[in-house]
Structure 1
Amino acid sequence: MHIDIIEGLPSLAKLEDNWNAVYDADDEAQIFLSWKWLSGWLSCIPGPWFILAAKERDAADLPYVAFFPLRLQTTIEKSDVLGNIRMAGNFGADYTGIVCRPEAEHKVIPAFARTIRQMNWARLHLDNVRISERRWRLLTACFPKASFHSTKVDKIIKVDGVDNSLCPYATLPKDWNSYLDALSTNTRQKIRRLLKQVEASSEYRITVATPDTFDRDLKTLLGFWDTKWRARKGDRMDSLIRSNGTMLTRSFHSGLVYLPTFWHGDRPVAALATLVEPRKRTFSFYMTGRDETFEGPPAGMILHAYSIRHAIEHGFVEYDFLRGNEPYKYSFGCKERKIHSIVVETRSGRNLGGRIDVRCIPDLLQQATELHRKGQSADAEMGYRRILDVQPRHADALHRLGQLLAAKTDFAAAKRLFRTLTTVRPDAAKAWQCLGQVCESLGQHEEALRQYLEFMRLQPDSPDGFVAVARCMVKLGRMAEINAALLAAIEPASGPSVRKWRDWRSIPDRQGAHENSISA
């Protein structure tokens, strides 16, 4: 089995037809693994992601038979940089998993696992994986106890005891009355009464979001949801609202969201967002919110019943309540499925291969830079060094680690980094200035002077260059040349002292000596 690694939205776009063919053939596939939902999600998440794509052999004309969407993260901890592989849908999808043609799974899934084992990571987060026991065993068997340690992730919420590994869902018949007949007498009568109360009343109404009203309705939903959960979720709430809002907006414009709002007169009192998957003919309840001060009929039950009736009328076969075994869900005639969540860790606690994944460099550089700004220099230094382990000529890591070491007065090490930086970015004036500064700190004033002259060549109008050159000349006893440098530093670029200074630097024998010293 041949495995390709797909990266970037243009490459993903080319897979649409192939992906949909595999998705349609896979009974275990669900909306969060659909090309339409996943491509929208991957377009707005931070950090690197990739997709393992499997085919029988390495031939351009062969279609792929399976896809495994993943993402990469790095964390600086335990005096090291640890790589994390996560499921690509994590933090937006209730379910994750693998899309695979059933006849190929016994070859594909072990091949995916072998490919992952060749990557550089310390933790593999198999979180919220909706997968058959058969496929789950094929996947996890490839991470044996001798080399890896696996920990089951507890999905029970301590506050209310809800188990987020249990996922209720209702199988939908072909007509609404058949669905109601399968419910308890009490629930059936209640749903009929509530829907009749809303639809026969001028006091209540239900609207469904359209392109013209979606922004308003989504704002209503997220506002109610914020009020309900902010006390529990705390500082995470703002990022959750942003990510959910972005995901639902993109999904709506792709035709994947059904969003009814329940009104009392002109006052919205509840809203419910459901993800719609026409290929698998499923409705997946994603989010709801209501005005907690409303004392009228139960808005949540009304909107669920309204959505289920709509799904049945349009030929959908399943209404999925997604994660969480809240008791109210079972009143809608639900069965339940269980999803898997484990963390696989290397026995050493370090990255496989002893290095970071090169795709993590931008994310790691951002983390290290932020730690550097906060004064957490040891962790920042570790981040910069891990980048240089895999890309020794990475300009930003060279520059920032050089600055960090210079601040620690390790000028000799900083000099080596800045010297390399001038070969990577020879036209970057800042590199030559930094090299000059550390040479000066080491008392190497002749060498510092050469670097400052190169800095001046690249930034001829910068007063800093003139001042630095004059400072070195003082140390070298070249007093006759100092006045011109100092006057040039305080005059406009077109002033006579600047012209005189440039004329001095352009004398053939001095220019030749300058060039020789730089090349040396």
Structure 2
Amino acid sequence: MHIDIIETLPSLAKLEDNWNAVYDADPEAQIFLSWKWLNGWLSHIEGPWFILAAKAADSTDAPYVAFFPLRLQTTIEKDVLHEVKMAGNFSADYTGMVCAPDAEGKVIPAFARYIKQMHWARLNLENVRMSERRFRLLLAYFPKANFQVTEVNRVGNNDGIDNSVCPYAALPKDWEAYLLSLSANTRQKIRRLLKQVDADGEYRITVSTPETFARDLDTLLRFWAIKWRPRKGDLTDKLVRSNTITLTRSFKSGLVFLPTFWQGDRPVAALATLVDQRKRTFSFYITGRDEAFDGPPPGLLLHAFSIRHAIENGFSEYDFLRGNEPYKYSYHCAERKIHCTLVETRNGRNLGDGIDPRSIPDVLEQATDLHQKRNLAAAERGYRRILDVQPKHADALHRLGQLLVANDNHAGAKRLFKTLTMVRPDAPKAWLCLAQACESLGQHAEAIQPYLEVMKLSPDQADGFVGLSRALVKLGRIEEVNNALLSTLGTTEKPAVRKWRGSDRASAVTPRLHEERQLSS
């Protein structure tokens, strides 16, 4: 089995037809693994993502038979540590893979072997909706003798809700048949409530259109934020922004059904479900209501309205997604379980003791942030890990060199800056850093050539002039100062020369140098 890596949106776009064919064939596929959902989600998430794509032969013509969407999260602690996560999190209620059923016996071991070759300390199999057969086949390649494997408890501390339990209602072809599956009390309530909104009286339900979607989504998320802010705190605004982007993209792709419940002109509640035309499922995603409203129960009304719409349009399942809240079972629900398992290396370090090249931009950003916060030891670990993978990484060379200078390790800084000048010979800053490191080591003669390079590359800046003069003075070669400047720059008429000659920095180098300047002017 051949594994390719898909890690750009243009590459993913080319796979739409192939992906949909596998998705349609896979009885375990679900909305959060659909091409439309993932394409929208991956287009705005931060950090590197990648999709393992399996096919039977290493041929450009062979179609892929499975896809496993993943992402990489990096932290710098005692070392640079990677966590491989499911690509859909945190937005997707379910994660996993799509796979042609007749290929899973070869595909899943191939995926597992590839993952074991990567550098990671944690493999977070969170919210994986996968048959026990497939999941055990995957975990078999991470034996407890070599890895620490932990089943993660998904029961909430505050509410006791088990978020690994996912209720869903199988839908018959007839609305009345569905109503008969409910308790008499629930059935009577639903009939009475829907009759009220169908009558075009005080209460009504509208369904979002392209013209009203932004308004309706804003209503939903505004109500949602009011309810959940006390529990979620500062995270609330981030979740609102993420849901706005995700649901807007999904609506444009035809994946969202959003009814809003009104009392006159007052919006009371809204509910968004995800619509999977390929698998014929509705999935309840998010809802919000005006907590001050004292009238017909909006939740019951909107769920009933959505279920009726789903049945009338030929859908076969209404999925309440994660969480075994008691109210869900009033809709005649069965249950399915999802897997939440954490696989960790025994020593707490990345497999292979390296870092994933995909993480380098993230490692650099984190190391730079740690550097600015004066956590120099952690920042140094980050920079060095980058250089282990890319020894000629210009930014890592420069920033680690600066860090070593701050730690008075000028010899180490000099080695890095010397490499930097070979990587970026056109960068005056690289030559300036090398020259200054040489001076800090008392190697004034060795500093001369780097300073000359600075002057050639950046003749309008005084740093090279001042540095060269200082080095020559330290060597007792004051008479060479003006000659070196003129031979490098060619003329005293250049603005930078005049500026330098008249600057306080030039006269402050040494009184004797100032005397030389006066004699030659």
Aligned to 2:293, what secondary structure does the other structure show? coil
Question: Offset of 1:74 from its aligned partner?
Answer: 1.1
Distance 1:484 1:205, change over 3 A: farther
* Counterpart contact for 1:466–1:485, Cα < 8 Å: no
Paired residues for 1:215-234 under 5 Å: 215-234=214-233
Question: Offset of 1:467 from its aligned partner?
Answer: 2.3
2:46 is equivalent to residue 49 of structure 1: no
Deviations 1:81-125 (A, max 9, x none): 111111111111000011011111111111110111111111100
Question: Offset of 1:370 from its aligned partner?
Answer: 1.1
Distance 2:88 2:19 in 1: 16
Question: Offset of 1:235 from its aligned partner?
Answer: 2.2
Aligned to 1:195: 194
* Counterpart contact for 1:398–1:421, Cα < 8 Å: yes
2:322 is equivalent to residue 314 of structure 1: no
Paired residues for 1:109-508 under 5 Å: 109-480=108-479, 493-494=494-495, 497=498
Q: What letter corresponds to residue 373 of structure 1 in structure 2?
A: Q
* Counterpart contact for 1:484–1:500, Cα < 8 Å: no
Question: Offset of 1:498 from its aligned partner?
Answer: 6.3
Task: Point out where structure 1 has 5 or more consecutive residues left out of the alignment.
Answer: 502-520
* Counterpart contact for 2:465–2:500, Cα < 8 Å: no
Question: Offset of 1:33 from its aligned partner?
Answer: 0.5
Aligned to 1:331, what secondary structure does the other structure show? helix
Aligned to 1:216, what secondary structure does the other structure show? helix
Distance 2:205 2:312 in 1: 17
Aligned to 2:101: 102
Aligned to 2:292, what secondary structure does the other structure show? coil
Aligned to 1:20: 20
Question: Offset of 1:201 from its aligned partner?
Answer: 4.5
Task: Point out where structure 2 has 5 or more consecutive residues left out of the alignment.
Answer: 503-521
Distance 1:220 1:50 in 2: 34
2:52 is equivalent to residue 65 of structure 1: no
Aligned to 2:512: none
Distance 1:364 1:391 in 2: 12
Distance 2:90 2:186 in 1: 34
Alpha-carbon RMSD: 2.0
Question: Offset of 1:59 from its aligned partner?
Answer: 2.1
Aligned to 2:46, what secondary structure does the other structure show? coil
Distance 1:369 1:478 in 2: 40
* Counterpart contact for 2:459–2:496, Cα < 8 Å: no
Counting aligned pairs with the same residue, the percent is 71
Aligned residues: 498
Question: Offset of 1:202 from its aligned partner?
Answer: 2.8
Distance 1:486 1:261, change over 3 A: farther
Aligned to 2:84: 85
Question: Offset of 1:366 from its aligned partner?
Answer: 0.9
Distance 1:500 1:21, change over 3 A: same
Deviations 1:283-338 (A, max 9, x none): 10100011111111111111111111111111111000000011111111111100
Distance 2:496 2:448 in 1: 23
* Counterpart contact for 2:364–2:382, Cα < 8 Å: yes
Distance 2:95 2:50 in 1: 14
Distance 1:492 1:127 in 2: 69
Deviations 1:41-81 (A, max 9, x none): 1111111111111112212222111111111111112x111
Distance 2:75 2:151 in 1: 21
Aligned to 2:3: 3
Q: What letter corresponds to residue 32 of structure 2 in structure 1?
A: F
Aligned to 2:517: none
Question: Offset of 1:496 from its aligned partner?
Answer: 6.7
Distance 2:314 2:176 in 1: 14
Distance 1:89 1:82 in 2: 21
Distance 1:496 1:66, change over 3 A: closer
Aligned to 2:234, what secondary structure does the other structure show? helix
Distance 1:499 1:169 in 2: 77
Distance 2:17 2:218 in 1: 34
TM-score (norm 1): 0.92
Aligned to 2:519: none
Q: What letter corresponds to residue 143 of structure 1 in structure 2?
A: F
Distance 1:234 1:485, change over 3 A: farther
- Comparing 229-238 with 491-500, greater Cα deviation is found at 491-500
* Counterpart contact for 2:149–2:342, Cα < 8 Å: yes
Aligned to 1:512: none
TM-score (norm 2): 0.92
Aligned to 1:469, what secondary structure does the other structure show? helix
Distance 2:454 2:37 in 1: 51
Question: Offset of 1:20 from its aligned partner?
Answer: 0.7
Distance 1:496 1:188, change over 3 A: closer
Distance 2:348 2:292 in 1: 50
Aligned to 1:211, what secondary structure does the other structure show? coil
* Counterpart contact for 2:462–2:500, Cα < 8 Å: no
Distance 1:286 1:492, change over 3 A: farther
Aligned to 1:51, what secondary structure does the other structure show? strand
Q: What letter corresponds to residue 494 of structure 1 in structure 2?
A: P
- Comparing 59-68 with 477-486, greater Cα deviation is found at 477-486
Distance 1:334 1:177 in 2: 17
* Counterpart contact for 2:461–2:496, Cα < 8 Å: no
